Amino acid sequence: MSANAQVALSGLARAFVQHGKLLEAEAVDCTRPSSNPNDFIFEVINRGLMNAAEIARFAGDTFGTPVLDLAAYDTRYLAVEAVDRKLMQKHQVVALNRRGNRLALAMADPSNLRILDEIRFQTGLSVDPVVVEAPKLAALMEQLSESAETTLRDLTGDDFDMNLLGQEETPSQDQTEDAASDVDDAPVVRFIQKLLIDAINDGASDVHFEPYEKYYRIRFRTDGILREIAQPPLVLKEKIAARIKVISRLDISEKRIPQDGRMKLVLSKSKAIDFRVSTLPTLHGEKIVMRILDPSSAMLGVDALGYEPDQKATLMEAVTRPYGMILVTGPTGSGKTVSLYTCLNLLNKPGVNISTAEDPAEINLPGINQVNVNEKAGLTFASALRAFLRQDPDVIMVGEIRDLETAEISVKAAQTGHLVLSTLHTNDAPSTLERLKNMGVAPFNIASSVIMITAQRLARRLCSCKQPVDIPIEALQSAGFRDEDLDGSWQPYGPKGCERCKGSGYKGRLGIYQVMPISEEIARIIMTNGNSMDIAAQAQIEGVRDLRQSGLLKVKQGVTSLTEVLACTND
């Protein structure tokens, strides 16, 4: 063999010549400069010198590498997420499976050590080559590429080509992809845009992007229930995550720690939706949750929140007081923020100075001075409150009272001529007062500053397809209905399911409230160190409905089901 031929031939070609499978001239003639590392093998096959199976067996025997028939391999379990898709396409290899820090890599030419080294460097894994037939490998790679594009085309539609992402994108050193890469990402961009628009149209509150070992799923939380929407190809998880992080102004190179960001989706000149974006590193990639923040939800008014007439009157009386503290309580996702912003919107007038401290500010309202708490920088709820008191405020809203310092400053503000609105995480209104005492706030300060507490839950609203249901009297009594309520003058309803509600039987949500004003008698119980049970008993005497009683009233009105009320309230 000539020196020139030795230099030009690949390791596999040299092995063919050395073992007498090919003549030197044939091997040289089959070798062509190409970007595809398997072109030599295809040329040998096309010339009829050897078939694909013979080449694979020879390569396996010569280089001590196992041989696999891809036709018998279940491609659903490919570990394609382990190696960048462009790198696999460039080198014509496919990641078969991953066990611990070892990666099995399907390739037609195991003698190409440069490819193995590059994959090893890119993944940080030990790479074990597995020989497969070149035509079957090419067919599999084409299938993977078509699957990704077809799935996105099915999900977005061929005619979907809108650019609605209104957040201005700021280039960074991480965004150095060339024009070809931008074109390649276009289907992903359209997919994310359509997904977000669908989430808004469905009334979703959150969008979840979740990577797992074998699949990637996207879910919407609609009316408090998570529902799977799509399963894009697993190979696209990095592109989807990178695109979301770019438009949310997050560091796309940082995948080891959680990040928080925001983005805006412009629907028209008069309507834009904000998204709060949170990333979380998981075992199989970054999980991303996007909270949909619709400013129009704060503009609906008190009537749309679901307060009963007497509860609304109590709330309006408290909100129009010149000073004092109003507390809204409930678990995460119970609508506390919307309730607070609805109250702020009522107070938002040219002659009123309103300041809020939130973590973070979820709904942007013109005319209100909103501050994002940043504890790392030293901007805590307490420090923001101190600054507010030097800013001539009329109304102060504190996102959450978490500690004694924040509670004491809030109480001081309420006692010195300011209206203070805030939230606490407690189960009901009476236990809120006990929680403040346990924080260390003096009973006298609680009694003299708090003017009203609202506890709330969100229950799913029955769709218009609702149907009458027969519920045994014993079950109704066990739920809390009194004998005088069961007079036959009303009919309980339950879910049925139709196209409008996507078969769930529910469409939208409504609030269930316990609105408790602090009367003189309740204030006396607080100052004499009474507990939450004493306060709850007095509230009942004064006609304050607890959460269960308010929920049962919604059942009588036929707007929700007994099942929903039992699920979201305690007896």
Question: Residue 260, CB half-sphere, CA atoms under 13 Å: how many?
Answer: 8
Q: Specify the range with the lowest mean pLDDT, choosing from 55-64, 361-370, 391-400, 450-459.
A: 361-370
**Vertex 446, ends 440 and 447: CA angle to 5°?**
145
CA distance 441 to 527: 11
CB atoms within 10 A of CB 75: 13
Looking at residue 432, its pLDDT comes to 92
Q: Is the pLDDT of residue 164 over 90?
A: no
Question: What is the reported pLDDT for 209?
Answer: 95
The residues, ordered by sequence, that sit 6+ positions from 389 with a Cβ below 8 Å of its Cβ are 409, 413, 416, 418
What is residue 182's predicted lDDT score, i.e. its pLDDT?
41
Give CA angle at 298 (295, 299), nearest 5°. Answer: 95
Rounded CA-CA distance 196/200 in Å is 6
Lowest mean pLDDT of 173-187, 469-483, 522-536, name the range: 173-187
Strand partners, 232: none
Work out the pLDDT band at 373, boundaries 50, 70, 90: confident
User: pLDDT class for 364, splitting at 50, 70, 90?
Assistant: confident
The mean pLDDT of the chain is 84
According to the model, what pLDDT value does residue 501 have?
83
Give the tens place of pLDDT for each residue, 412-462: 999 999 999 999 988 889 999 989 999 999 999 999 999 999 999 999 999
3-state SS string over 287-355?
EEEEEEECHHHHHCCHHHHCCCHHHHHHHHHHHCCCCEEEEEECCCCCCHHHHHHHHHHHHCCCCCCEE
Using one digit for the tens of pLDDT, what is the confidence trace for 482-523?
A: 888 888 889 999 998 888 887 889 988 889 999 999 999 999
Please state the rounded mean pLDDT for residues 461-466.
91
pLDDT tens digits, residue range 58-109? 988 888 889 988 887 877 777 777 787 778 888 888 888 888 888 888 998 8
Calculate helix-pair angle for 532-541, 520-527, nearest 10 degrees.
170
Beta bridge partners of 456: 513
Tens of pLDDT, residues 16-56: 888 888 888 888 888 877 667 888 888 888 888 888 888 88
